[in-house]
Amino acid sequence: MKRLFGALVPFALLTASCAEPAQALERPVAAPAAKRFANEGMGLKTAVFAGGCFWGVEAVFSHVKGVKSAVSGYHGGKSSTAKYDLVSSGLTNHVEAVRITYDPKVVRYDELLRIFFSVVADPTLKNRQGPDRGAHYNAELIPVNAEQRKVAAAYLKQMEASGKWSRPIVTTVESYRAFYPAEDYHQDFAAKNPRHGYILRWDKPKVNALKRMYPSHYRSSFLRDG
β pairing state of 179-181 and 67-76: antiparallel
- For residues 146 and 64, the answer to whether their CB atoms sit within 8 Å is no
- What is the rounded distance in angstroms from the CA atom of residue 1 to the CA atom of residue 122? 18
Q: What is the DSSP letter of 48?
A: E
Give Cα 63 to chain centroid, integer Å.
13
Q: Is 53 a catalytic residue?
A: yes
Among residues 19, 34, 38, 53, the one annotated as catalytic is 53
- For residues 156 and 169, the answer to whether their CB atoms sit within 8 Å is yes
Catalytically active residues are 53
